[in-house]
Amino acid sequence: MKVRNEVLKEKLKKNLWSQNELAIRVGVTRGTISRVMNNKRGAGRKVIEGLLRTFPEETMDTLFYTKKN
């Protein structure tokens, strides 16, 4: 599943987090976050669950491109 990079970049900026900080909070490597954010790979279950846990105010539709949007 593709992430909405513009939303994630805004979240990083707002929280003053690096991709490394986001990776730690999501529970994946920095390389994984980098590849997901640069559309070199899709977000798997671990990344999806981690992002939803890290940003509980967001939904699948706001963080990811889904069939609905």
**44 found inside a domain:** yes
**Which CATH number do you get for residue 13?**
1.10.260.40
CA–CA gap between residue 20 and residue 15 (Å, rounded):
13
**10 found inside a domain:** yes
Residue type for position 25: R
Residue type for position 46: K
Q: What's the domain range around 41?
A: 5-57
The average pLDDT across 4-27 equals 97
User: Domain count of the chain?
Assistant: 1
Q: pTM for the whole thing?
A: 0.91
Query: What average pLDDT does the structure give for the chain?
Result: 95
Which of the four pLDDT bands, split at 50, 70 and 90, describes residue 69?
low
